[in-house]
Amino acid sequence: MLRSALLTFRMHRFEVLLVAVLLTLTAVSALVARSHVAAANPSNECWSQNWSGGSTLECQASVANFWGAADEASFVASPLAVSLPFIVGLLLGVPIVGRELELRTAGLAWSLTGRRWRWLLARFVPMLILGGGGLLIVALLVADMARVAHPWNYLGPGRIPDLTEIGSEGMPLAARGLMTLGIGLLLGAVAGRTLPAFAIGTIACFALLFLGVPFLQGRVGEGVAVWRDQTDDRPALYVPGISDAGYRAPDGTILSFAQAQALAAGQPCPPDETSPDPGMGKAVTGAPVADCSGQWLAANGYAAVTRVAPIESYPTFENAEIFATSTIGLVCILLTFPIVSRRRPA
């Protein structure tokens, strides 16, 4: 196994060295950014004063200095960490089969090995260890750096997560690397040439990142979203495709904005009301009221609500992406074995 790994690394030494450099630089950047942020972190008392609006000049300067250091962490998390699994996956995955087919050395290698699946496994496992192991270390370091960079917010200790940051740290980052490695491996075996496989793989990764991820988050969000009063200031997650607004009736029924407006249309204005709700009417204060829908709904117990994903559902989105991306990667890897077994060398 060690001999096969050394042979694989020697054959693809350019990609291996480039990936090793990228992983090392990102890991070192995360460690350096973490140390800078930790050194600049103000005390909890200073954070509390900052959010309450009664901080001293010294505390304000300390917080401002901290945000300057935190910008380093945000750069490491995005775009470096977001793009890293796609770069690593394609660099390591595409040449495993694609280069041997392109250079016409696959036929000789397959004839000497005997079983093609054994040959593929010997080439793939070293790349998987390098890419998967390196990405996992980077993912953990970036996640630790992100936690240090968000020690306190206006809600108290801890970080307010954002769905756009899911793939920039932790296990989702490593899972994206596995997915891209599998996609690169499969495309290299199908195309038989590295450059077209790289091009198609890049397009596929962009499509998954900008179309697939929002679609997945929207489907997960449909299952975890709840209706909350618009006056409820508890933190929530912005989910692509979920921005519903409406009204909650006194009996708990949820009405859409159009349904509520139709229900209140033509109703008399409550006493002493001259200006309707900004979302329902357009009259100017002091002028005759043409539409009192907003006032009528409020006066009759209809509360304005929005549909949001609770902050506590963040792990659900993480687990869904880990499962989806890992599954795509494993399926691509498994599909490569029968393709290699049946493919003509030239």
Write out pLDDT tens, residues 178-232: 999 999 999 999 999 999 999 999 999 999 989 999 999 999 999 999 999 988 8
User: Quick one: pLDDT at residue 167?
Assistant: 84
Cα separation, 4 vs 256, whole angstroms: 63
List pLDDT tens digits, range 225-275.
Answer: 999 998 888 888 888 878 788 899 988 888 888 888 888 877 777 665 444
Peptide bond into 79 cis (omega under 30): yes
Query: Quick one: angle between helices 81-102 and 194-207, nearest 10?
Result: 150
State how many domains the chain has: 2
Does residue 261 share a domain with residue 146?
no
- CB count in 10 Å sphere of residue 19: 22
Domain ranges, residue 257:
229-309
Tokens of 301: 């117990």
Looking at the structure, do residues 238 and 336 belong to the same domain, yes or no? no
Query: What whole-number distance in Å separates Cα of residue 145 and Cα of residue 77?
Result: 9
pLDDT digits (tens, 9 = 90+) for 110-160: 888 778 898 899 899 999 999 999 999 999 999 888 888 877 655 555 666
Alpha carbons 280 and 261: distance in angstroms, whole number: 7
Specify the range with the lowest mean pLDDT, choosing from 31-35, 163-167, 290-294: 290-294
Q: Does 272 lie in the same domain as 135? A: no
> Which residue reads 């270390």 in tokens?
137
Do residues 220 and 110 both lie within one domain?
yes
Q: Are residues 204 and 85 in the same domain?
A: yes
